[in-house]
Amino acid sequence: MPLNGEYEPSTAQFVRDQVELYESSGGTEGTTLGVLVAMEEDERLREVPVVILATLGAKSGKIRKTPLIRVERDGNYAVVASAGGAPKHPVWYHNAVADPRVELQDGPVRQDMLAREVTGDEKALWWARAVEAFPDYAEYQKNTDREIPVLILEPAAQQH
Ligand code: F42
């Protein structure tokens, strides 16, 4: 059941713009994040796939949309609340913890998902997958005392 409520764009311009481009192009544009990868003597830009997570604002009840790195396995996804290694969890993380009913857009496909935080071995497994997709996560975790949370998103249709 898709989230219902009024979409409230982020106050962060780059977030608003990427969400707008992603959605208005039907998930064909704005679907990556350019990451500089150090190669032998120079650097190369690697385009890392991005998904759009929609959550219900824990206070406003409005629909919030956030570009995140795509980490997927067998139809399930991980979203990593890194916020660039900031000392505080991103707001979208609190929203998804408060109400696990989320929507995920991966390219042209939008799905209702249920979010749950993972710990222990399950977190270690998904963390490794996340770092493989986006090595900067390892840097972020090294540079903050905050333990960066990982949420798993599973298709709501499969849940009873
Ligand atoms: N961030 C990550 O944490 N992980 C990623 O993998 C990631 C990848 C990524 C790729 C591309 C890209 O462009 C950005 C990427 N980001 C990634 C950054 C991400 O998109 C977010 O900008 C970042 O994680 C910070 O998320 P945030 O939810 O803290 O954003 C703030 C700035 C924000 O949007 N705040 C809103 C606002 O309008 O100020 C409020 C949002 C909200 O949900 N408000 C709540 C409500 O009820 O509506 C109330 C919140 C409260 O308690 O007051």
Residue-wise pLDDT for 50-63, tens only, equals 999 999 999 999 99
Atom 40, ligand 1: residue with shortest CA distance: 10
User: Would the CB of 148 count as within 6 Å of ligand 1?
Assistant: no
* 140 CB-side CA count, 13 A: 21
Which residue in 112, 98, 106, 99 sits closest to 159, CA to CA?
Answer: 112
State in Å: Cα 40 to ligand 1 middle: 34
Ligand 1: which atom is nearest the Cα of residue 92?
28
Size (the chain), residues:
160
Q: Which of 68, 136, 150 to mutate to test the pocket of ligand 1 (most atoms within 8 A of CB)?
A: 68
Tell me the mean pLDDT in the region 74-89. 97
Say whether pLDDT at 35 is over 90: no
Encode 63-93: b = buried (16+ Cβ within 10 Å), e = exposed: bbbbbbbbbeeeeebbbbbbbeeeeebbbbb
Residues 6+ apart with CB under 8 A from 96: 53, 55, 79, 102, 115, 151
Radius of gyration of the chain (CA): 15
The answer to whether the CB of 31 is under 6 A from ligand 1 is no
Question: For residue 36, what pLDDT band results from cuts at 50, 70 and 90?
Answer: confident
Q: Is 126 in the pocket of ligand 1 (CB under 6 A)?
A: no
Give the model's pLDDT for residue 114. 97
Please compute the mean of the pLDDT values over residues 46-50 and round it to a whole number: 93
Q: What is the pTM of this model?
A: 0.95
* 6, pLDDT greater than 90: yes
- What's the CA gap between 158 and 160, in Å, rounded? 7
